[in-house]
Amino acid sequence: MKQPLLILTGPTAVGKTALSILLAKAVGGEIISADSMQVYRGMDIGSAKIKKEEMQGVPHFLIDELEPDETFHVVKFQSLARKYMNEIWQRGHIPILTGGTGFYIQAVLYDIDFTQSESDGPYRAELERTAREQGARTLHEQLRLVDPVSARDIHENNVKRVIRALEFYKETGTPISKHNEQERKKESPYQFAYFVLNDDRERLYGRIDKRVDKMIEEGLLDEVKRLKARGFTKEMVSMQGLGYKEMLAFLDGACSFEEAVYILKRDTRHFAKRQLTWFKRERDVIWIDKGAYQYDEKRICSAILEELKNRGWKIGENHEDTVRSNV
RNA sequence: GGAUGGUUUCCCGAGUGGCCAAAGGGGACAGACUGUAAAUCUGCUGGCAACGCCUUCGGUGGUUCGAAUCCACCACCAUCCA
């Protein structure tokens, strides 16, 4: 029997966090954060991390697990998430994957296989140099020779993905396009329900602007100053997060504070749009329009529970029962 | 009251007689994504019955085969002189 897995996601600033707590309490869930920035310790304000008291006793995982100079990526996320899910099931609870990183969610939900290749530092460096010195097209030509399908699908300017495709081929001897094609066909090994919380674009953008203002008030700049003082630089994955790279640019004198804030708001809006694009093409997604529930968290939560019941999930008063019947 | 500079497509901004529905940037919108994903990258942006036609470059009128580009007047903005 498939293990249950709840997913609650949506674009940044829609209000996932508050809802996730309600939902966790309603179904006896524990939360695994699917967020590429909230894993980092010391990055609280900019990543809009949930506060201890907001958790209301609901266990959270993959929050504050790494130092900002550690690299984090899907593969790490996937293996850690898997580990935590197993533990949660063993406790007789339901894991709730919450967060805005669609790629991470996909990796766990469809159990995408990443194990075939190791990242090859020297080879990457060589490819990066080729791109830099001879141009993106030259690199893309190299890909065309070994993996014409990927060459067709990946734009030559997208150097990162061209490099990954070349690296994959070198490591495994098979084109990444072939691997991807197989992975795409996978069915999820879980009994899952994938909810995407959404709102009118205009409202969402308004919330983003407001949230950035609030982050500034709460001391985002100081937070970034502290991180900078500890030696964390813009080259690190963590410091490429929204809020961090902009404040760092200001601190390095690359732009004025006003410009930094403007760019942060704009790029956060762009990010939200990209998230939405991602969720739109994910299969088996259940969209929840906040407006349809008068922006009332409790109503949204009830609607989610209702939907779960319709799908045959047994959500009872007794959480232990709930899980047992699902398992 | 006078002098000069300006008014361009959602915004900024280039364009000084035909190759201009108008460079470039921004925003908006749409999309891709399978080991950096809060990353990286792409497309699109006057209208339409669309290899063509129509409307557009402050307004009106004029010069010209032809005007965003030249002329006249008007309106507004900016700076300077009264």
* Nearest in space to A104 (alpha carbons), one of A89, A71, A82: A82
> Cα(A309)–Cα(A288) distance, rounded to whole angstroms?
16
**What is the band of A1 on the pLDDT scale with cuts at 50, 70, 90?**
confident
Measure, in angstroms, how far nucleotide B42 C1' is from residue A153 CA.
Answer: 11
Cα-based distances in Å from A124 to A4, A129, A167, A240, A321: 39, 9, 7, 20, 51
3-state secondary structure A129-174: HHHHHHCHHHHHHHHHHHCHHHHHHCCCCCHHHHHHHHHHHHHHCC
Contacts of A73 (CB under 8 A, 6+ apart): A237
CA proximity to A165, closest of A147, A185, A181, A145 = A147
Instruction: Give dist(CA A304, CA A235) in Å, integer.
Output: 40
Q: Rounded mean pLDDT of A64-72?
A: 94
Q: What is the pLDDT of residue A255?
A: 87
- Angle, CA of A227, A33 and A74, to the nearest 5°: 80
> Is pLDDT of A320 > 80?
no
- C-alpha A107/C-alpha A74 separation (Å) is 7
Q: Which CA-bearing residue is nearest the C1' of B39?
A: A240
Give the nearest nucleotide to A99, CA to C1'.
Answer: B38
Give residue-wise pLDDT tens across range A164-180: 999 999 988 899 999 99
What is the reported pLDDT for A319? 52
Stretch A247-262: mean pLDDT: 91
A315 vs A242, residue with greater confidence: A242
Q: What is the pLDDT of residue A135?
A: 85
Res A324 pLDDT > 60: no
Contact between A186 and A180 (Cβ < 8 Å): no
Is residue A196 within 8 Å of A285, Cβ to Cβ?
Answer: yes
3-state secondary structure of A5: strand
**Residue A190 CA, nucleotide B61 C1', distance (Å):** 76
Sign of CA dihedral A210, A216, A219, A221: positive
Sign of CA pseudo-dihedral A166, A169, A174, A176:
negative
- Residue A182 CA and nucleotide B2 C1' are separated, in Å, by 80
DSSP letter for A91, please: T
Q: Which tops the pLDDT comparison, A214 or A323? A: A214
State in Å, rounded, how far the first CA of chain A is from the last one: 6
Identify whether the C-beta of residue A21 lies closer than 8 Å to the C-beta of residue A58.
Answer: yes
At A50 the pLDDT is 95
Tell me what pLDDT residue A39 has. Answer: 96
Given this model, what pLDDT does residue A315 score?
A: 75
Distance from residue A152's CA to nucleotide B50's C1', rounded to whole Å: 29
Mean pLDDT across chain A: 91
Is the pLDDT assigned to residue A317 strictly greater than 70? no
pLDDT at A54 over 90: yes
pLDDT the model gives residue A131: 87
Q: Quick one: average pLDDT of A63-84? A: 95
The whole-number Å distance from A259's CA to B5's C1' is 30
Nucleotide nearest to A71 (CA to C1'): B36
Contact A78, A114 (CB under 8 A): yes
Write out which nucleotides of chain B lie closer than 7 A to a protein Cβ.
Answer: 26-42
Q: Crossing angle, helix A121-134 and helix A136-146, to 10 degrees?
A: 130
pLDDT at A176: 93
Q: Which residues pair with A96 in a beta bridge?
A: A6, A31
Provide mean pLDDT across the span A100-112: 95
Closest nucleotide to A38 by C1' from CA: B38
d(CA A239, CA A251): 13
Which nucleotide comes closest to A35 if you measure CA to C1'?
B38
Residue whose CA is minimally distant from B42 C1': A155
Q: With 70 as the cut, is the pLDDT of residue A327 above it?
A: no
ipTM: 0.89
- What's the CA A267/C1' B40 distance, rounded, in angstroms? 14
H or E element, residue A3: strand A3-9
Closest nucleotide to A176 by C1' from CA = B34
Measuring from the CA of residue A160 to each C1', which nucleotide is nearest?
A: B40
What's the CA A138/C1' B81 distance, rounded, in angstroms?
63
Q: Can you tell me the mean pLDDT for A297-306? A: 95
Place of tokens 């984090």: A72
Q: What is the distance between the alpha carbons of residues A241 and A45, in angstroms, rounded to a whole number?
A: 12
The whole-number Å distance from A14's CA to B62's C1' is 59
The pLDDT, as a whole number, for residue A316 is 60
Nucleotide B34's nearest residue (CA vs C1') is: A180
Q: For residue A321, what pLDDT band results from cuts at 50, 70 and 90?
A: very low
* pLDDT tens per residue, range A124-168: 888 888 888 888 899 999 999 999 999 999 999 999 999 999 999
